[in-house]
């Protein structure tokens, strides 16, 4: 004689067991979460947002009961209950529950692994040592000349070189002044190199309405950016073609040197006169001309930049193609004694997601290879029989 309970899921018993499992899981889970987050100061979740994925669990429960309800109806339509024993071995409600619980626990452990529990060491005081560096970037129209490398303006090469320079810095603070006929503080001194790169990329010749090249004014603006009370050594690096029509650069460099600030200069361009291109909507439309319609030529004023560097007790470097000799400049900067610029408390955390990931994958593997077919051992267990 056939056993009707063999050919359908016992949803009542399944519901009771699932409720008991959920109560146990959430009680243990919440108690553990509260303890480690409130009582263990060295513990944290790196990706705490991932814990919101536990909101998927109720949907998993709903889908499970919808699935077994659908299977019960499908079996009922499939064949008469008198014929079922000859064509179908029957379901095991117990095995189905175990499969689901394994899947449910696997998802839970994988969510915890995704949140990445971390356990930290004791707090440490970490000091950042370096110097304050102000970069003065010439944005006069003459910096649009492409005499260093075809297709690359003096300004473009300056910006690329500054990004490479920033990559070589460690612990130093950096700021940016742009200048032409006037000077403007584009970026106050910051330890954030990513921000410095972004501000560098945004530098254009359109930033200054007053044309000309006033290096002295640029050095003065850099000096106002320094905090002379922090005790850190300071330096200014000027990127320019040196066509200084104001001739105040040497005087400003001397004043900076008297206050202990080293002034370096980078010569952008060649000593051969070249035209200054004019662009409209990103396209070259011609070359700059004077009032008599003669093409205006620009060339590197190397002597001026050398004199400014000497007055500022720094070094002069001449750009050569796409290279500006960063190694020499960096060596000069590194010879300056570094001071403590900031001190922060730091806690080193170690990832603990590995065991949760391993357990989650193991449970998922077991669930995949487990089937719901009834066996003789299952038939001996009366727990899941319909009452």
| Total structural domains within the chain | 2
Q: How do residues 324-333 score in pLDDT, each as one tens digit?
A: 777 877 887 7
For position 219, which CATH number holds? 3.40.50.410
Nearest to 385 by CA among 134, 125, 9: 9
Residue with tokens 């263990």: 40
Chain-centroid distance, C-alpha 11: 49
Q: Which of 71-85, 323-337, 356-370 has the highest mean pLDDT?
A: 356-370
Rounded Cα gap, residues 224 and 218, in angstroms: 10
- Residue 383: pLDDT over 50: no
Q: Answer with the residue of higher pLDDT: 239 or 68.
A: 239
The predicted structure's pLDDT at residue 95? 82
- Residue 136: pLDDT over 50: yes
Q: Are residues 188 and 240 in the same domain?
A: yes
Q: Are residues 233 and 93 in the same domain?
A: no
Burial of 147 (0-12, 13-18, 19+ CB in 10 A): buried
Q: Are residues 218 and 286 in the same domain?
A: yes
The predicted structure's pLDDT at residue 152? 92
Q: Are residues 174 and 304 in the same domain?
A: yes
What SS3 class is residue 206? helix
pLDDT-derived band at 1 (thresholds 50, 70, 90) equals very low
Q: Answer with the residue of higher pLDDT: 176 or 126.
A: 176
Q: Are residues 64 and 28 in the same domain?
A: yes
- Residue 277: pLDDT over 80: yes
The predicted structure's pLDDT at residue 386? 44
Q: Are residues 88 and 188 in the same domain?
A: no
Enclosing domain of residue 141: 127-344
Q: Are residues 47 and 164 in the same domain?
A: no
The predicted structure's pLDDT at residue 143? 93
Q: Are residues 351 and 330 in the same domain?
A: no
Angle subtended by helix axes 154-168 and 326-334, to nearest 10: 40
Q: Are residues 303 and 327 in the same domain?
A: yes
Residue with tokens 């519901």: 15
The predicted structure's pLDDT at residue 229? 83
Q: Are residues 32 and 141 in the same domain?
A: no
In a domain, 51, yes or no: yes
Rounded Cα gap, residues 83 and 72, in angstroms: 16
Q: Are residues 76 and 157 in the same domain?
A: no
pLDDT-derived band at 384 (thresholds 50, 70, 90) equals very low
In a domain, 271, yes or no: yes
- Residue 343: pLDDT over 80: no
In a domain, 385, yes or no: no
Mean pLDDT on 133-141: 94
Angle subtended by helix axes 353-369 and 93-115, to nearest 10: 160
Q: How do residues 34-74 score in pLDDT, each as one tens digit?
A: 888 888 878 889 899 999 999 999 999 999 888 888 877 77
Percent of the chain past pLDDT 70, that is, above it, reads 84
In a domain, 17, yes or no: yes
Cβ 125 vs Cβ 165: under 8 Å: no
Backbone angles phi, psi at 146, to 5 degrees: -115, 55
Q: How do residues 80-94 score in pLDDT, each as one tens digit?
A: 555 555 555 556 778
Mean pLDDT on 296-306: 92
Mean pLDDT on 329-347: 67
Q: Answer with the residue of higher pLDDT: 79 or 239.
A: 239
Percent of the chain past pLDDT 90, that is, above it, reads 48
Q: Indicate the range of 8-17, 166-175, 316-325 predicted with least confidence.
A: 8-17
Mean pLDDT on 24-41: 88
Q: Are residues 34 and 86 in the same domain?
A: yes
Rounded Cα gap, residues 148 and 269, in angstroms: 6
pTM, rounded to two decimals: 0.58
Burial of 249 (0-12, 13-18, 19+ CB in 10 A): buried
Strand pairing of 297-298 and 274-275? Answer: antiparallel
Mean pLDDT estimate for the chain: 84
């Amino acid at each position: 004689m056939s056993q009707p309970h063999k050919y359908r899921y016992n949803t009542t018993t399944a519901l009771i067991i699932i409720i008991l499992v959920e109560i146990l899981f959430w009680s243990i889970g919440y108690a553990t979460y509260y303890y480690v987050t409130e009582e263990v100061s060295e513990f944290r979740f790196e990706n705490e947002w991932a814990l919101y994925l536990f909101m998927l669990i109720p949907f998993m429960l709903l889908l499970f009961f919808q699935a077994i309800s659908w299977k019960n109806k499908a079996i009922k339509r499939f064949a008469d209950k008198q014929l079922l024993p000859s064509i179908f071995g029957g379901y095991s409600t117990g095995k189905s529950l175990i499969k689901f619980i394994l899947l449910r626990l696997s998802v839970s452990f994988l969510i915890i692994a995704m949140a990445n529990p971390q356990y930290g060491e004791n707090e440490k005081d970490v000091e950042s040592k370096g110097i304050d560096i102000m970069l003065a970037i010439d944005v006069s129209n003459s910096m649009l000349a492409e005499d260093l490398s075809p297709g690359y303006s003096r300004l473009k090469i300056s910006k690329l070189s500054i990004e490479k320079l920033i990559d070589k810095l460690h612990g130093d603070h950096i700021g940016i002044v742009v200048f032409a006929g006037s000077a403007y503080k584009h970026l106050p001194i910051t330890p954030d190199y990513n921000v410095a790169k972004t501000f560098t990329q945004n530098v254009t010749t359109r930033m200054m309405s007053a044309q000309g090249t006033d290096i002295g004014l640029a050095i003065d603006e850099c000096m106002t950016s320094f905090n002379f009370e922090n005790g850190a050594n300071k330096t200014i690096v000027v990127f320019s073609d040196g066509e200084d029509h104001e001739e105040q650069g040497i005087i400003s460099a001397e004043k900076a040197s008297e206050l202990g600030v080293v002034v370096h200069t980078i010569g952008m361009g060649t000593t051969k006169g070249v035209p200054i291109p004019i662009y409209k909507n990103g396209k070259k439309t011609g070359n700059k001309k004077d009032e008599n319609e003669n093409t205006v030529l620009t060339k590197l004023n190397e002597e001026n930049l050398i004199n400014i560097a000497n007055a500022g007790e720094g070094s002069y470097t001449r750009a050569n193609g796409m290279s500006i000799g960063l190694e020499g400049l960096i060596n000069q900067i590194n010879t300056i004694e570094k001071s403590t610029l900031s001190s922060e408390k730091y806690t080193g955390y170690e990832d603990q997601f590995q065991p949760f990931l391993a357990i989650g994958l193991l449970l998922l593997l077991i669930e995949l290879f487990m089937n719901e077919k009834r066996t003789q051992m299952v038939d001996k267990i009366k727990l899941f029989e319909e009452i």
